[in-house]
Structure 1
Amino acid sequence: MAGKSNKGSKRLLDLKGQTWWFRIAIPQACRSYFNGTTMYLQSLETGDIKVAIARRDKLEPEVRALFARVKTGEVISTSEELAELRGELSKAAIAEALTEGGEAAEDAVWAAEAEADSLRGKARERFTRAVAGDHPVDHYLDAYLSAIKLAPKTTNERRGLINRFARWCMGEKYRLPDITRKAAGRYVTEIVEPMDRSTAKKHMTALRGYWEYLIKRGHVAGTAEDNPWLGQEVASGRRRVERGDNEGERPFTDAELKTLLYSEYPDGMDDDHQQQIADALRISCLSGMRMAEVLTLWVEEVHDDIFDIQQGKTRSAARKVPIHPGLLEIIARRTRDKQPKEWLFHELSEERDPGDTFGKRFNRYRKHLKVDDVRPGKRRSLVNFHSARRWFITQARHAGQTVETVKDVVGHVSDKKKDITFGVYTQGASEKQMRDCVGAVVLPLG
C-alpha cells in the first residue's frame, strides 16, 4: 500500500542543499514594497524537517500580517520589518539551542550577534529587540485575531479591548516582557474593576486569550500556567442587592414594539433603509433569530417554509426555524428573481460588516422614535435589536410553549450536564412542536 503523502506538511517549505527555506508568493499589491520580487524567501536555519515545520508555522502568520498591512496602504520600511522577522527567527533558534546546551547554544548566539552587526540604524534596533522579545504588547494582535477566526463583530470587539490595554501600556512604558502578574494586577485594579461587570468579563476573556496565544507561539516565555491574567477575575464584592443592580437588557414592551412597527418613518433618515429595517424587525420578532442570522441568509437557505440556518454564534445556532405565516409576504418579495446564493437582504451584501452597519441604522431609527432606555451607570440602552429576539422568547413562554422547544427554535445550548434527559437522550423538538411554538407568537396590533 502506498505511503501517506507528506506534501501538505512541507507546505511553503523549500530544501536548498541541507537547509530548509520558507517560501511564499508575494501578493501583486505588495510587490512594489519588495522591489518587484514575486517570492518571499527566508532561511529557516535548519536541516531538520520537524524544526522547519515549527518555524514555518511561527513565521507564516507574521509574514501574512505584513502583507495585510502593506495592502491597507500603511507605509512600512520593508528592511526594518524583515529585520524584525529575522530577529524573531533568531530568538526561536537560540531558545531551541539552549535546550541542547554546549556548542549549539554558543553557535546560535554567535549567529544572532553576527547578523545584528551586519545591520544598521533602526533595522538593527528592531532585530535586537526581536531577539530579546521586546515588542509593544499589541505587536502580535493581527496574527492572533487571524488565528482564532472569530465572527467579525467579536473580532472587532476583541481588537478594541486589547488595543485599550496596549494604550495603557504605552502610557506606562510597558512592553511585552514587562507584563508580569503584578503589572496585569495593576491594570485590573485601575482600569477593569471600575467597568460594568459584563464589560469587565469580556475584557478579561480577551486578555487571557491573547496571552494564551502568545505563550503557545513562544512570543512570551512560560507555560500556560504562567499566563499573568489567570486568577485575575473581577469579583463583584457586593453582598447586598442595591436598586438597579438587576437592570439588564430586556425585551421590547408591546407599546415599544407597536411604535417601531407602525409609526411614520422618521424625517432625517435615509429612505433606502426603511424597508430593510421593517423587514428585519418583523423576521426577528416572529422567529427569534439573531440579527446576524437574519441579515446574512442566502436565498437557498429559505425553502420548504423554513429558515435553514447553516452557521451562527454556537453549535446550536445551526437549525431549521419554521417560517411564521406573518412573514410569507416578506419572504416572497425578498426571494423573487434572485439566485440561490444571493442574500435575502441583498442591500447589505457589499457591506464590510453588515451587522454593525445595520445595527447602527436600527439604533438611529428607534432613537428617532424615542424607543430608548438608558439608565445611570449603564453604557448601553436596555433595548436594542436583540430585544426583538427577547420579545419572541417571552411571548413563546407566555403562550405556554416548553422551555426545551423554545431553546431549539432560537438556537440556545442545552446544558447537558444539568439535564441528561433532554440534553443527551433526545434529538430535539419535532417539526410540529417547532411550528406550533413559532405560530403561537403574534405581533401586537397597530
Structure 2
Amino acid sequence: MVGKSKKGGERLLLLQRNVWWFRQQVPAAVRSRIAGPQFIMVNLRTADVIEAKRRRDELESQTRIQFRHIATGRRETLELPGWKPSGEPKRAALGPAERGAMWRDAVADAVAAEDDYIEDIARDLAADEAERFGDDDAKRRAFSDAFTGREKVDHHLETYLSAVGLAPKTTGERRGLVGKMARWAAGKGLTLDRIDRRQAGKYVAEEIDHLHPVTQTKHLTALRQYWIYLAKRGHIDLPSGEDRNSGWPWNGQQIEKRGKRVERGSKMEEERPFTDDEVRKLLYAPWPMKKPDWESQIRDATTISLLTGMRLAEVLTLWVGDVDRDWFDIKEGKTEAAARRVPIHPDLKAIVKRRTEGKAGTDWLFHELRPERDAGDTFGKRFKRFREAVGVDDRRNGVRRSLVNFHSARRWFTTKARHAGHSKETIAQIVGHKADKSDVTFGVYAREASGEQLKACVEDVQLPVLI
C-alpha cells in the first residue's frame, strides 16, 4: 500500500486547465546519469484533487525508489507511467572542476530535499570519483575545490536574490552588504568554505562594530539570511550541532554596548518626524527646482504619506483600482501586516480625484513614475534634492544620513495620531505594523479596529496651516 504524503497539501501537484499534473524535480545525481529534463511532468488525468493526491503518492513512491537505484548505479533509466523521456544521453566529457560542481549540486539537492540517504550516496560517489584521478594532483585539486565549495563568497548571491523575491530596495541593500563582505574575503584570500565563526568575527570587528547599531543589525541580517540560504541548499557545511536556520557563523556576532556614561551632548541621534514648520516648507514653499513637472508628484506623494502614514513604495505603486471609494486598498507591501485598508483623508480627495480621472484600474496613480526602472529610488533622489532645496535637512556630526527623509512623513503622521489620543493598536493597523503578540488582549484576541475608529484616527491628523 502506498503511504500518504507526510507533508500533504498540494505538494508536487500543478493544476492546468482544470487537470492535475504531477511535477517533480530530478536530483542532480540522477540527471548526471540519465538523459532527461530537470523536472518530470506527468498528466494525472483528473480534476479531482483527492484522486490527484492518491496518484501523486503512487508516482512519488516510484520516483523515490528509482532515483536511489539510478544514483547507486543499479539501473540506468527512469520509467514512469504516462511519462516519456526525451533527448539523447549526455556524452560530452566533463572536466574535473565541472564534475566536482555537479556532485556538489547533487549533495545540495539532497540537502534541500532533506533526503539523508541520497545525500550519503552522493558524497560516497563523489569520493570514489575523486580517487579516479589517481596521481594527477591538478585534476584532483580542481575536483576537490569545486566539490568542497572553494568559490567566491558571492558566487551564489544572484541566485539567492532571485530565489527570495525581496523588494527592489532590500535586494539592492543585500547585494551591497554581502558584496562588501565578499570583497573583504577576497582581499584576504578567503573562499566561501573558509568562512567560519573566527573569520566572521574578524570581519565584524573590522567592518561592523564601529557602525550605528541599526546599521549593524541590517548588515548582519543580510549576511545571516544569505548563509541560511547557502546552508539549506548545501553550498556550505555546518559544524555538528548547528541548525540550518541559525545563520551560522553570523548568529550572535553583534555585541550590545551597555554601561557607557552619557556625556553632555553625546546622546545618540536618531531619525525623527518632520516638524510642523518643515511640513509647511515641503507643502507651501515656492517651487525651487528647474523641473516643474516634478512638483505635482513630490507634493502629492508627500501629502498622501503625511495624512495616511503610508510608506514611500506603497504610495508610489498605488493603482487606480486600489482606490475603493473612501479607502486605499493596499494589497501587498514590506510585511504581512502591510496588506491593509487605509481611510482616505478628506484633504486627499482632490489629489485622488485628479490622479484617477480617465485612467484604467491597472494604471498607477503616479503614472509618470511607472516607466522608471526603480520608481522608489528615482523618486527618493528627487525628493532629497527638493527637501534640501527648501531648507529641510538635519545633519549631525558622525551621522551619515540626515535625520529627516521621506519616512519622516510617516513618523509625523504616527506622532500626530498619538497626540490626538488614539490607541497604539489603531495607529499600528493604519500604518501597517504587526500586532504585538506578547499583548494577549490586543495582539491575539482584539486584533482589528473598526472602520469608524480608523477613519476617526486619520481625520484627526490635520496638516499645519500656512502662516
Q: Do these two structures clear the TM 0.5 threshold for a shared fold by scoring above it?
A: yes
Counterpart CA distance in 1 for 2:450 and 2:95 is: 59
SS at match of 1:415: coil
Tell me the distance in 2 between the aligned counterparts of 1:275 and 1:288: 19
Q: 1:409 to 1:161 in 2, by over 3 A?
A: same
Post-superposition offset of 1:21: 3.8
Residues 1:90 and 2:103 are matched in the alignment: yes
Equivalent pairs: percent with the same residue?
47
SS in 2 for 1:374: coil
> Corresponding residue for 1:345?
366
Alignment of 1:50-65 (within 5 A): none
For residues 94 and 439 of structure 1, the distance between their equivalents in structure 2, rounded to whole angstroms, comes to: 58
Residue pair 1:281, 1:385 contacting (<8 A) in 2 also: yes
Equivalent position to 2:273, from 247, 251, 274: 251
Q: Give yes or no for the alignment of 1:202 onto 2:222.
A: no
Query: What pairs with 1:121-200 in structure 2 (closer than 5 Å)?
Result: 128-200=144-216
SS at match of 2:308: coil
Gaps of 5+ in 2: 5-9, 14-20, 40-63, 72-91
Which residue does the alignment assign to 1:441? 461
Partner of 1:412: 433
Q: Quote the offset at 1:362 in angstroms.
A: 0.3
Q: 1:317 to 1:110 in 2, by over 3 A?
A: same
- The separation in 1 between residues aligned to 2:269 and 2:299, in whole angstroms, is 28
Task: Give the number of the structure whose residues are more often helix, by fraction.
Answer: 1
Query: Where does 1:84-123 land on structure 2 (aligned, <5 Å)?
Result: 86-93=99-106, 107-112=125-130
What's the secondary structure of 2:201's corresponding residue? helix
Say whether 1:266 aligns with 2:288. yes
Q: Residue 353 of structure 2 aligns to which amino acid in structure 1? A: A
Question: Is contact 2:435–2:447 with CA below 8 Å preserved after alignment?
Answer: no
Paired residues, number: 394
1:350: Cα distance to partner?
A: 2.0
> Could you say if the C-alpha distance between residues 52 and 236 of structure 1 is closer, same or farther in structure 2, counting changes exceeding 3 Å?
farther
Aligned-pair distance for 1:205? 0.9
Distance 1:110 1:344, change over 3 A: same
Q: Is the 8 A contact 2:312 2:376 kept in 1?
A: yes
SS in structure 2 at match of 1:278: helix
Partner of 2:67: 49
Where do residues 393-432 of structure 1 align in structure 2 (5 Å cutoff)?
393-417=414-438, 419-432=439-452
8 Å CA contact 1:13, 1:20 repeated in 2: no
Letter in 2 for 1:172: K
The 2-side partners of 1:389 and 1:348 are apart by 21
Alpha-carbon separation, structure 2, partners of 1:313 and 1:52: 44
Of 291, 306, 316, the residue aligned with 2:327 is 306
Partner Cα separation in structure 1 for residue 187 and residue 381 of structure 2? 32
Q: What's the CA shift for 1:108?
A: 3.4
Give the TM-score normalised by structure 1: 0.79
Q: Name the structure 2 match of 1:9.
A: 23
What is the letter of the counterpart of residue 248 of structure 1? Answer: E
With over 3 angstroms needed to count, the CA separation of the structure-2 counterparts of 1:13 and 1:170, relative to structure 1, is closer
Counterpart residue identity of residue 199, structure 2? A
Query: Quick one: which amino acid aligns to residue 382 of structure 2?
Result: R
Match of 1:321 among 342, 347, 356: 342
For 2:445 and 2:428, locate their aligned partners in 1 and report how far apart those are by CA, in whole Å. Answer: 16
CA distance in 1, matches of 2:286, 2:419: 30
User: For the Cα contact (< 8 Å) 2:282–2:387, is it kept in 1?
Assistant: yes
CA shift, 1:171, in A, is 1.1
Aligned counterpart for 1:216 among listed residues 227, 232, 237: 232
Q: Deviations over 1:262-284 (max 9, x none)?
A: 111113x4222111001000100
- Provide, for residues 399-444 of structure 1, a one-character-per-residue CA deviation record: whole Å limited to 9, x for no partner: 2222221111111112111x11111112411111111111111111
Given that 1:116 and 1:128 are in contact with CA atoms closer than 8 Å, whether structure 2 keeps it comes out as: no
Per-residue CA deviation, residues 302-358 of structure 1 (Å, 9 max, x unaligned), is: 121100011111221111111011111110110011110111111111222211111
Match of 2:34 among 14, 19, 24: 19
* Cα distance in 2 between the residues matched to 1:104 and 1:413: 44
Q: Distance in 2 between the 1:90 and 1:308 partners?
A: 49
Structure 2 counterpart SS, 1:199: helix
Counterparts of 2:171 and 2:320 in 1: how far apart (Å)? Answer: 26
**C-alpha offsets along residues 127-153 of structure 1, whole Å, 9 cap, x if unaligned?**
553123110101011111122221111
- TM-score with structure 2 setting the length: 0.75
CA contact (8 A) 2:312 2:407 kept: yes
Inter-CA distance 110–290: structure 2 relative to 1 (3 Å threshold): same
Aligned to 2:59: none
Report the CA distance shift for 1:357/1:131 in structure 2 as closer, same or farther (over 3 A). Answer: same
Given that residues 13 and 21 in structure 1 are in contact (C-alpha distance below 8 angstroms), is that contact kept between their aligned partners in structure 2? no
Unmatched runs of 5 consecutive residues or more in structure 1? 25-45, 54-78
Q: Deviations over 1:80-101 (max 9, x none)?
A: x998664322235579899799
For residues 226 and 428 of structure 1, do their structure 2 counterparts lie closer, same or farther at Cα, with a shift above 3 Å needed?
Answer: closer
RMSD: 3.6
Residue pair 1:20, 1:52 contacting (<8 A) in 2 also: no
**CA shift at 1:234, angstroms?**
2.5
